[in-house]
């Protein structure tokens, strides 16, 4: 097997290895697991009930087993890697900054190179094909139902040092888009960010501050961040490029019971080709408190401040304060679960006052039935400007958040943002196999304020004559986790466009055929070494 994906990644990061043949060996083994079907997948891990909840239980990794059988690694190295008992597996330098799933996967390359515990080395490549028809954005020039398609490739290299109080982490990322040269395709900093520094920071960790049992962490440099449900600050998962921040992050807490986080950063300004850099005219800061003292009443309380005067147009300068509260209970079999998250924004946009808000609510139930079905009822509201051109701006600013997890796919699609929308809906999640998850979702879409901008399409009828019904969509998504090191994600979404797009005022702002229904499809594979 020719290892094209590995070769591409090696070229991107300029990695020269005397034993480069290992790349092809390991990647080939992983790919062969696909053909092994569910038996191999279940051998790697399975879902089991623990304290009434479904959790992932790791078992023997077939790749590590093969490496030991072929005497590529010693028995001691096998035990450390498979059981994740080595000091390096305690956690990575960015473990408290982002979601666990972003860091906790087997480092096959590190194990094969016989690197010590205090070295973290990993390579990730994600490739996704996506397409949709009937473009509707005012910025697009293609019409007549032309299909916009592209292939997105995102490669990452991690290199970390240290397993004690002081640690260092470098993470490089290369994001590219292919097959997108036709008019109307999107090539911008949400899809393309060629070879750049995603993370570069030092950290200090104290596990038992002054004998109190509290843990504290300090991070300084460039980093990625996840906060809470990730609605307002997120290390982007679905999007091809990733938010990063330069500055300080500090946390203190007691296990999983509670923690306090504070940060002062400058958001990194992405550039498609040149190295990204921060801008002193944009400053972002905040505090975040998490409490899980009561299992059925988890609480997050936070404040985010943003001062952004980077753009030359003074009317776009932002000084916002965002106050938020999140209440939730995690899903469990035969139990109801819920989540409420609401945020209020105050401040100034240019020369006008800014006041906006964003309540989100969902309620679910997990049934003790085959496939463990979970049903959710969901609602999202994000305010808009009631009187465009008036003395107050009401468009909610989603800051640096993610939206695929609760709204709909983003990528080159992403017709709805967390601004000027009102959206009820439902979602059904089933697990036909321990490593296979299927989502079925429907949402209805309305403008919160009819005269305000429909931000997903950058079109507007300031008279309000177009109404507020944007339509509804049906989505089917399948996620197959072959292992922690390889997964597939396939999705299809049909957007039934509403009466808003029948308005002559809106049709005139869109490409030809933009008022017709839109079909979106994607296929994605991720491999980690």
Which tokens belong to 459?
């079109």
| pLDDT tens per residue, range 372-389 | 999 999 999 999 999 988
Contacts of 65 (CB under 8 A, 6+ apart): 78, 82
Is 301 in contact with 324 (CB distance < 8 Å)? Answer: yes
Instruction: Tell me how far apart the alpha carbons of residues 162 and 168 are, in angstroms, rounded to a whole number.
Output: 7
Q: How confident is the model at residue 6 (pLDDT cuts 50, 70, 90)?
A: very low
- Please tell me whether residue 44 adopts helix, strand or coil conformation: helix
CATH classification at residue 500: 2.40.160.100
Mean pLDDT of the 150-154 span: 93
Tell which residue, 258, 265, 281, 173, has the closest CA to residue 225.
265
Residue 66 host element (H or E): helix 62-69
| pLDDT tens per residue, range 298-317 | 999 999 999 999 988 888 99
> Which range has the worst mean pLDDT, 270-274, 454-458, 493-497?
270-274
Residue 506: what are its φ and ψ, rounded to 5°?
-80, -40
Beta pairing partners, 392: 353
Residue 469 host element (H or E): strand 469-483
pLDDT for residue 368 is more than 60: yes
CA torsion sign, 90 to 93 to 98 to 104? Answer: negative
**For residue 279, what pLDDT is reported?**
82
Which tokens belong to 484?
């922690």
pLDDT for residue 134 is more than 60: yes
**For residue 69, what pLDDT is reported?**
81
Q: How confident is the model at residue 82 (pLDDT cuts 50, 70, 90)?
A: low
Contacts of 369 (CB under 8 A, 6+ apart): none
**For residue 244, what pLDDT is reported?**
96
Q: How confident is the model at residue 140 (pLDDT cuts 50, 70, 90)?
A: confident
Q: What is the domain extent for residue 512?
A: 4-528
- The predicted model scores a pTM of 0.86
Q: How confident is the model at residue 190 (pLDDT cuts 50, 70, 90)?
A: confident
One-character DSSP codes across 14-41: T---TTTHHHHHHHHHHHHHHHHTHHHH
Residue 8 host element (H or E): helix 4-13
Residue 190: what are its φ and ψ, rounded to 5°?
-90, -15
Tell which residue, 187, 127, 130, has the closest CA to residue 155.
127
> Which range has the worst mean pLDDT, 14-28, 231-245, 346-360?
14-28
**For residue 23, what pLDDT is reported?**
39
> How many C-beta atoms lie closer than 10 Å to residue 439's C-beta?
16
pLDDT for residue 469 is more than 50: yes
Is 514 in contact with 143 (CB distance < 8 Å)? Answer: yes
Say how many CA atoms lie within 13 Å of 319 toward its Cβ: 9
Count of domains for the chain: 1
| pLDDT tens per residue, range 406-436 | 998 887 888 999 999 999 999 999 999 999 9
Q: What percent of the chain has pLDDT over 70?
A: 85
Contacts of 188 (CB under 8 A, 6+ apart): 272
Residue 277 host element (H or E): strand 277-278
The position carrying tokens 């408290």 is: 96
- Please tell me whether residue 65 adopts helix, strand or coil conformation: helix
Tell which residue, 107, 128, 240, has the closest CA to residue 528.
107
Which tokens belong to 229?
């449900």
| pLDDT tens per residue, range 51-61 | 555 454 445 67
Instruction: Tell me how far apart the alpha carbons of residues 142 and 136 are, in angstroms, rounded to a whole number.
Output: 9
**For residue 125, what pLDDT is reported?**
97
> How many C-beta atoms lie closer than 10 Å to residue 1's C-beta?
10
**For residue 52, what pLDDT is reported?**
53
Mean pLDDT of the 206-232 span: 95
């Amino acid at each position: 097997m020719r290892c094209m994906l590995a070769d591409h990644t090696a070229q991107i990061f300029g990695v020269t290895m005397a034993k480069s043949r290992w790349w092809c060996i390991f990647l080939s083994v992983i790919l062969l697991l696909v053909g092994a079907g569910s038996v191999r997948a279940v051998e790697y891990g399975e879902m089991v009930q623990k304290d009434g909840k479904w959790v992932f239980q790791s078992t023997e990794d077939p790749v590590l087993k093969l490496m030991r059988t072929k005497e590529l690694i010693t028995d001691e190295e096998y035990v450390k890697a498979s059981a994740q008992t080595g000091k390096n597996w305690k956690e990575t330098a960015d473990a408290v900054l982002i979601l666990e799933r972003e860091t906790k996967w087997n480092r096959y390359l590190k194990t094969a190179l016989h690197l010590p515990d205090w070295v973290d080395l990993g390579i990730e490549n994600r490739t996704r094909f996506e397409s949709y028809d009937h473009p509707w954005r005012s910025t697009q020039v293609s019409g007549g139902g032309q299909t916009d398609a592209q292939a997105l490739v995102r490669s990452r290299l991690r290199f970390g040092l240290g397993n004690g109080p002081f640690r260092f982490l470098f993470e490089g990322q290369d994001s590219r888009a292919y097959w997108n040269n036709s008019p109307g395709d999107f090539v911008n900093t949400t899809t393309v960010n060629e070879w750049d520094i995603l993370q570069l920071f030092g950290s200090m960790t104290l596990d038992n501050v002054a004998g109190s049992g509290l843990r504290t962490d300090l991070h300084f440099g460039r980093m990625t961040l996840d906060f809470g449900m990730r609605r307002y600050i997120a290390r982007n998962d679905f999007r091809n490029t990733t938010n990063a921040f330069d500055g300080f992050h500090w946390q203190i807490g007691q296990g999983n019971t509670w923690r306090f986080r504070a940060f002062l950063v400058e958001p990194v300004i992405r550039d498609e080709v040149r190295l990204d850099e921060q801008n002193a005219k944009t400053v972002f800061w905040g505090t975040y408190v998490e409490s899980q003292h009561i299992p059925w009443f988890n609480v997050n309380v936070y404040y985010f401040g943003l001062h952004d005067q980077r753009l030359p147009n003074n009317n776009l300068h932002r000084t916002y304060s965002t106050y938020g509260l999140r209440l939730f209970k995690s899903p469990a079999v035969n139990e109801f679960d819920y989540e409420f998250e609401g945020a209020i924004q105050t401040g100034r946009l240019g020369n006008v006052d800014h006041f906006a808000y964003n309540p989100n609510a969902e309620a679910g139930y997990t049934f003790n039935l085959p496939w463990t079905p979970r049903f959710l009822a969901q609602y999202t509201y994000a305010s808009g400007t009631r009187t465009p051109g008036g003395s107050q701006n009401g468009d909610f600013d989603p800051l640096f958040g993610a939206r695929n997890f609760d709204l709909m796919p983003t990528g080159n699609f992403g017709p709805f943002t967390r601004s000027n929308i009102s959206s009820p809906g439902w979602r059904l999640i089933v697990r036909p196999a321990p490593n296979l998850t299927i989502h079925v979702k429907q949402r209805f879409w309305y403008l919160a304020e009819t005269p305000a901008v429909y931000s997903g399409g950058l079109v507007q009828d300031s008279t309000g004559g177009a109404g507020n019904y944007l339509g509804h969509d049906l989505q089917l998504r399948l996620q197959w986790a072959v292992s922690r090191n390889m997964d597939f994600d396939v999705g299809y979404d049909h957007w039934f466009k509403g009466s808003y797009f029948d308005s002559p005022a809106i049709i005139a702002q869109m490409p030809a055929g933009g008022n017709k229904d839109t079909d979106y499809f994607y296929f994605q594979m991720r491999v980690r070494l």
